[in-house]
Structure 1
């Protein structure tokens, strides 16, 4: 008969260590970056980020840097937890809101949002990431999260309109379809690179609001983020 006591003890220790790492992340990174939403902070304490990462990235789950998740030729960088948290806070998610999570990757952002919103639609364009997204959400039993596989700029028109559209990265262009899927009074949050910056190290988090059919925006904070491939502006060539 196999003795599982050592295995059980090892699992318990890993879980305890993960909880300590999450506490350190929240206290030393998230709170110090002006994130004060208590429900969001509690959610970040509860959700183990390493569950959404491949084994080689799991040790970096609670670092304050972006993590590369390139799949199928598409470049994708997961936002650092402190940037992710403050961007979510900037969207002012309510318990009755329907949220579109654009570029959901493996599901960490959707899992956080599910603790705040009434319903979440997780949109992913890369098939391998989408498969991991579905598996991860199923393992958490998140019935209020629906998954959609489609190009990111197309959004999810069959599930629209949305109170909040959350974009996991920086954008330069191709937002028209997403704006069309916002409710009046709805909010879209994303990062926007400074003009002329090609490094992804100079950008601002912005909050767009749809009011009477028009759209205005305000800057929330500064944060680095690379532009998502699907939202890059087409190169313009000028001949002299």
Structure 2
């Protein structure tokens, strides 16, 4: 039995993306054509469009379709911008389809952003707190989207660089798995 991935993509946009108030039409168009099944192991391709956390590499997870759609919309990506995708192969492909120049950061050292500045930075795994190096890599007007999670429920957070520093706003609840290497540091108290 083969999976009709094109139909699954359309169904994902109609039932998980649009119903989550993701109204950005260029984003919806990109989500309709980017093959999510190509960024997961072949043995998990059947899960690509499900409302599920999918481990695509050890300790690396794709955001659920609703969550990645909402996070991308909050970042307001625009054609021609420079983007950094941290452990975010699906978001990277969507941003490329939308006309952004994307640098992909995978590998062992995800806490250090590459040299240069970016208009959009996205991470698909949850972290306890966005590393300073990620915030420092934002160009003026740049936006960083990440889920910060220290307990059972996390929050999507958008960081915005202005001339005088970086602001932070909470967006929506999300509970993706913690990205390997970004676990909450245990604390000791009396």
Per the normalisation by structure 1, the TM-score is 0.73
* Alignment partner, residue 132 of structure 1: none
- Equivalent residues, number: 190
* Alignment partner, residue 79 of structure 1: 63
Q: Does 1:182 align with 2:138?
A: yes
Q: Spell out, residue by residue over 1:8-45, the C-alpha distance to the aligned partner (whole angstroms, 9 max, x if none).
A: xx9xx86xx22111111110111001111111111111
Question: Are the counterparts in 1 of residues 91 and 122 from structure 2 also a CA contact under 8 Å?
Answer: no
* Alignment partner, residue 53 of structure 2: 66
Alignment of 1:179-218 (within 5 A): 179-193=135-149, 197=151, 199=152, 202-218=153-169
Q: Secondary structure at the match of 2:124?
A: strand
- What is the aligned-residue RMSD (CA, Å)? 1.9
Q: Does 1:92 align with 2:76?
A: yes
* Alignment partner, residue 25 of structure 2: 38
Compute the displacement of 1:174 (Å).
5.6
* Alignment partner, residue 54 of structure 1: 41
Question: Are the counterparts in 2 of residues 174 and 231 from structure 1 also a CA contact under 8 Å?
Answer: no
**If you compute each CA radius of gyration, which structure gives the higher value, 1 or 2?**
1
Mark the runs of 5 or more structure 1 residues left unpaired by the alignment.
1-9, 127-150
Distance 1:174-1:204 versus aligned 2 partners, 3 A rule: closer
Question: Are the counterparts in 2 of residues 79 and 225 from structure 1 also a CA contact under 8 Å?
Answer: yes
Structure with the higher fraction of residues in strand conformation: 2
Mark the runs of 5 or more structure 2 residues left unpaired by the alignment.
none
Q: Spell out, residue by residue over 1:97-141, the C-alpha distance to the aligned partner (whole angstroms, 9 max, x if none).
A: 10000113xx32211110224310010015xxxxxxxxxxxxxxx
* Alignment partner, residue 225 of structure 1: 176
Per the normalisation by structure 2, the TM-score is 0.91
Q: Secondary structure at the match of 1:56?
A: helix
Structure with the higher fraction of residues in helix conformation: 1
| Higher mean displacement: 160-169 or 222-231 | 222-231
Q: Does 1:152 align with 2:110?
A: yes
